[in-house]
Chain A
């Protein structure tokens, strides 16, 4: 029972971390970033580089954030900006970017599965249940991501401007907010968060050039049902992630893999506002 609860909480934490970058990009830029999977992969391979260079495994996280931000900056400037008025085209262009990222990584690192070292190893006892320390660490990491975004949104000038752009972009621009700048910074942060999430999930499995893809659709669904709200995203990750764990444990892992997609699609059909209170 304890193991099941811990599985649900840690799965929700991972899903939250993976989806948060997508959420803020959708909120501010109003585009669905299909390159999200590519950014996750970049994070994973940042971890691999750190491992191959023999550096401290903790360095994987800052390295991933930096790599993601740099990549995000380039992508925003040359691909996202021209497509701002064409959200459906932005989906396609970012999907193309995902392919480019995947192929570049394949050319540089090869297409085989590789492993990265874990900063925390071993297990601990929680209420008499032996549980992976790294998975427990992920709860902290997700909480830190949530806290970081909340602090950024609520305590900084950029956050204030970002919230204004989320609520009413024309009005925000009328008040002298440089929405182009807000968009640029948001995209960079979103890409950095995605990359960080990639680095966080790799010790659980492995890295390969298409590692981001399976996460993509689940992340989309979670973001869609949470209507650009961090609290709703946490609720959605906990509810749908919990359902996924339950179905995987008691029915079949294959059907479990589809739980989030199917439940989210049905939820949106019945209640378009999703988990938000609106």
Chain B
């Protein structure tokens, strides 16, 4: 198996430094620009731009949450407001000193983190709708503003706090500090969203359900992201309060929250640079125009916004970028193809399977029931499965086979009975927790991540065991022997850089299987793993499965319609019929059973075929 690591290890490193150089030079140019800016711009523009930079930093956090992780949030304004009020209140009542400056910053960070944590807990849970977080985060700034109003003279109520002592800095110094801060933040964000962790966020956005079945605690990842983004917004608000020497409820209001989302949408969600440029441009133009025609200007922005959402959902900057790229490739006759880093495959350390050395049966199902209202899909299902058993589950359509898989892999699905994995009851555990107990499940309908590459999908499956990098790509990808055998046998190892949507059906099924195996499960649930595959492909996967069960002692449940295939690979067969276990016995017993033939043929009296 050593030949599997032949992918040149230099490739990813080259790709990484290939990203470092242009990113560094662009960031360097921007820093030169913000240092030189005050010498070229009039003081009014410099004044406005400081504010724009801080807004842009906050818009950047909205872009990471919404553009990358798919969390539509109106709440970043509240965290901006919390940071600003932390400074305003501290400087008003404790006066300004280096100590109080640090204290105010920390207070803003702490309150933001706690509030973000609570908001995240309310918004993200197993089965929450993505619309829901939008509503909760819309409520957040409204609550904050009410709290500020009811604070009376302490918070300055509706007029806010003004005229406190603050940092003794010139406008030009603020310009340089905020400008450099924005460039550094944008660069860091760029590395963050392009890292392995960034791919994880996109995977959650695209198919959160699949992520949870890979053992990824998607709600926790989202809450964590929300906390970090809240803290960044809070720092921006803190700087705003220090710079403008005024804090008023408007800066934490939901109008500001929606404006942030509008700037991100206009600039181009999921591009980082689009929201930053969009925010700066709109804020500066607003400053110049809103004095003369305030209502008309807002009307124009609103109209453009609706137009962009309907006609150009990707925003303005990506459209410009595509145009420029076309010009560039027309001029140079060269395609600016993005370089994709391919990690080298290595062997994963063994012995991390759950339940090794346990005496309890791998899977113990007792009195399992699942019903939707009055419809009973499963009733009184009970069986035990041991390691090294390959259990075929057969039954006509509608027998409840896939529902059984669901009940075994998600603690919320069943309506009665117990499921235990190596003696641990799965209770009401969400899928990511059940994966931790050792259950790995593949899906009947291929459920992959469209825009992720094969390598990225496999890395996702390894997130639970290996963690992930926040700012870069790992140069290697550790996979257990079984997963590597599936991908080499099917040729997927030569397609690691291909996006999943470009794979053939057979390849997708193989990747699905490899991803489940990469989880290093102790109990494998496979829902028609070979549906739609050719005969040689089936035989191949069948032999890999049999080998896996025999060599590594995996307990495997497999749903199949092809009786011949089940007979070849299974050690035992369970027949489900109308939600109940009809037969549970050896292959010979089941195949020879009159009853099974009757069910499959649809009734004894119809059995006319020879």
Contacts and interface: CB of A to CB of B under 8 A. Distances in A.
A92 B261 contact: yes
A272 B128 CA distance: 8
A99 B266 CA distance: 15
Contact of B149 (A93, A96, A106, A254): A254
Interface in B282-304: 295-296, 298-299, 301-303
Interface in B483-541: none
Nearest to B70: A88
Contact of A99 (B72, B134, B302): B302
Given A86-B313, A88-B72, A96 B306 contact: yes
A132 B303 CA distance: 41
Interface string A104-146: 1011000100000000000000000000000000000000000
A255 to B, nearest CB: 7
Interface stretch (A198-206, A240-248, A256-264): A256-264
A174 interface: no
Interface string B407-436: 000000000000000000000000000000
Nearest to B127: A272
Nearest to A93: B309
A224 to B, nearest CB: 6
Given A106-B295, A252-B150, A261-B143, A269 B261 contact: no
Nearest to B124: A269
Interface residues of A, number: 38
Closest 3 CB pairs of A and B: A99-B302, A96-B306, A103-B299
16 contacts: A78-B310, A92-B261, A93-B310, A96-B305, A96-B309, A99-B299, A100-B299, A103-B299, A103-B302, A217-B139, A221-B139, A255-B150, A257-B146, A262-B139, A265-B139, A269-B125
B298 A88 contact: no
Prevailing SS type, chain B contact patch: helix
B265 interface: yes
Contacts of A221: 135, 139
A97 interface: yes
B139 A89 contact: no
A119 B249 CA distance: 37
Contacts of B301: 99
B130 interface: yes
Interface of B: 72, 121-122, 125, 127-128, 130-132, 134-136, 138-139, 142-143, 146, 149-150, 258, 261-262, 265, 295-296, 298-299, 301-303, 305-306, 309-311, 313
B135 A103 contact: no
A261 B135 CA distance: 9
Contacts of B261: 92
B132 A107 contact: no
Contacts of B130: 88
Nearest to B255: A213
A17 B359 CA distance: 62
A107 B306 contact: no
A32 B303 CA distance: 19
Contact of B298 (A79, A82, A95, A99): A99
A159 interface: no
A253 to B, nearest CB: 9
Nearest to B300: A103
A67 to B, nearest CB: 19
